[in-house]
Homo-oligomer: A and B are copies of this chain.
Amino acid sequence: MEKATRQHTKEHNRNLVLKTIFGHEQISRAETARITRLTRSTVSDIVSDLIDQGLIRETGVGQSQGGKSPILLSVVEDSRWLVGLDLAQNEFRAAVVNLRGKIRGVVAIPVDGIDRDGAAALKLVYKILDQLIGDTSQPRSGIGVGAPGLINTNEGMVVNAVNLNWKNLPLTHLLQERYGLPVHILNDCQAAAIGEKTYGKDFQKDENLVLINVHHGIGAGIIIDGVIYRGDGGFAGEIGHVVVVREGGELCRCGKRGCLETVASARALIKNARQSIGHHPESRLPSDPQQITLDTVEEAFKAGDPLARDLVLDTARYLGIVISNLVGVLNIQKIVLEGDMTRFGAPWLDAIRQSMMEYSLEWPLQNTRVEFGGLGENAVILGAAAVFANNYSHLIGH
């Protein structure tokens, strides 16, 4: 018992030092001690070990603060490779990622054919990982998976992913068995938030941020005090199923009516465009509803088509309502938007901001910035992989 505790503290301190060094281009031992609040001798011991393991190295000499010039430390970015997997898009995407979040290889496979066939979806996961892991000779330290739907991270379980037809799938266990690597699975929006926080250059200074992923689904990943906030059950950030149309709302795939996803997702936009086109023969949208896709809506939108414009900005208005509620509850001043709907650019973003102004208290909103994310389609992959980047035990392989 006593010993287990000391072991636990040691691991905690080691990860703290690792994270601090990873968070800086270059940093001295003294500065690391200051930030981590560990003693200099503890930091020195840990640093020696990290150098022995090849994870960091001495890379230069910093400016003297009066005494001896300090030696600077940096991460050896390609000393370990991680695997990140994004199961939340139209294609499954996996990448090998180094310790600085640089992508060293990508494999993508479209998922169109496997609609709602859970077993086929799982086979596809194996296929993409077999291919990616076969491609590289560098040892890999772990597989991070960003998956859509309700994920129980502690138990490594996909509780419910409607699009993939997975219910209570023990994905962590399955992948661990097959690849003999540590596996960490988390909600795709939570992964994207970690990705932006860790590797999105602008956001590293923000201790709190909310990432909102607006695609066929809608969800949020919440970073509080620099770490992902999961909530008691791991389901935090489920804003896609906030009810925004209380009377006569459309049926949502969750079984309720009028959820945000039924009016503000890419799927809702396409559906609404298909339903509207019959009444608007003058629109630039394809007159055959089946030819209406996100691409053709985007084309019409950018050509100034009023119907496309109304439909797109309507989605933004609903998003603004829900984001304003979120800002009211959390008072987080950095809101980052990602996902396929961001293709509608500045007008969509402006409409979201406008709607927020209408439905929010003035004060909390004043310093709130709503922006597009910087990692685009790689956010989930990078975030899923980043989970391992600060974990000593996983990086050294035990």
Contacts of A324 in B (CB 8 A): 243
Complex contacts, A334 vs chain B, CB 8 Å: 232
- Contact A361 B254, beta carbon cutoff 8 Å: yes
Decide: A329 and B326 in contact? CB cutoff 8 A: yes
User: Would you call A296 an interface residue if the criterion is a C-beta within 8 Å of the partner chain's C-beta atoms?
Assistant: no
Pairwise interchain contact B329-A234, C-beta atoms closer than 8 A: no
The segment from A21-29, A197-205, A223-231 that touches chain B is A223-231
Q: Tell me whether A119 is interfacial, beta carbon within 8 Å.
A: no
Q: Give the nearest-CB partner of A245 in chain B.
A: B246
Docked pose: A321 CA to B259 CA in angstroms: 12
Nearest Cβ in chain B — how far from A329, in angstroms? 6
Of all chain B residues, the one with the shortest Cβ separation from A326 is: B329
Interface status of A256 (Cβ within 8 A of chain B): yes
Contact (Cβ within 8 A) B208 A242: no
A214 interfacial contact with B, CB 8 Å: no
- A317-349 interface (Cβ within 8 A of B): 321, 324-326, 328-334
CA distance A60 to B233 in the complex (A): 39
List 6 other contacts, CB 8 Å, given A208-B231, A224-B229, A246-B321.
A159-B363, A160-B363, A230-B331, A233-B366, A237-B331, A325-B329
Given A325-B242, A330-B329, A359-B243, do A235 and B150 touch, yes or no (CB 8 Å)? no
- Min C-beta distance of A34 to chain B, whole Å: 6
Residues on B with beta carbons closer than 8 Å to the beta carbon of A232? 208, 331-334, 367
- How many chain A residues touch B (CB < 8 A): the figure is 50
Contacting B at CB under 8 A, from A239-273, are 239, 241-243, 246, 254-256
- Measured in the bound complex, the distance between the Cα atoms of B150 and A329 in whole Å is 13
Whether A130 sits at the interface, judged by CB under 8 Å, is no
Q: Does A37 contact B (CB under 8 A)?
A: yes
Contact of A238 among B34, B321, B364 (CB under 8 A): B364
A-B contact pairs, 28 of them (CB 8 A): A160-B363, A220-B329, A222-B329, A224-B229, A229-B330, A231-B331, A231-B333, A232-B332, A232-B333, A232-B334, A233-B331, A233-B364, A235-B364, A236-B329, A236-B331, A237-B331, A238-B328, A238-B331, A238-B361, A239-B328, A239-B329, A241-B361, A242-B328, A242-B329, A243-B325, A243-B359, A325-B329, A326-B329
The distance from the CB of A73 to the nearest CB of chain B, in whole angstroms, is 19
With both beta carbons as reference points, the residue of chain B lying nearest to A367 in the complex is identified as B233
**A9 interfacial by beta-carbon distance below 8 Å:** yes
Contacts of A236 in B (CB 8 A): 329-331
Contact B328 A241 (CB under 8 A): yes
Question: Does chain B have a CB within 8 A of A137?
Answer: no
Contact indicator A330/B231 (Cβ below 8 Å): yes
Q: Which residues of B contact A233 (CB under 8 A)?
A: 331, 333, 363-364, 366-367
Q: Is A12 an interface residue (CB 8 A)?
A: yes
Q: Does A5 contact B (CB under 8 A)?
A: yes
For A227, the closest partner residue in chain B by CB is B225
The distance in angstroms between the C-alpha atoms of A13 and B18, with both chains bound, is 22
Name which residue of chain B comes closest to A333, CB basis: B232
**Interchain CA distance A214-B331 in the complex, whole Å:** 20
Min distance, Cβ A41 to any Cβ of chain B, angstroms: 13
Cα A22 to Cα B152 with chains together (Å): 34
With a 10 A CB-CB cut-off, give which of A150, A160, A328, A330 has the most chain B CB atoms: A328
* A75 shortest CB reach to chain B, Å: 24
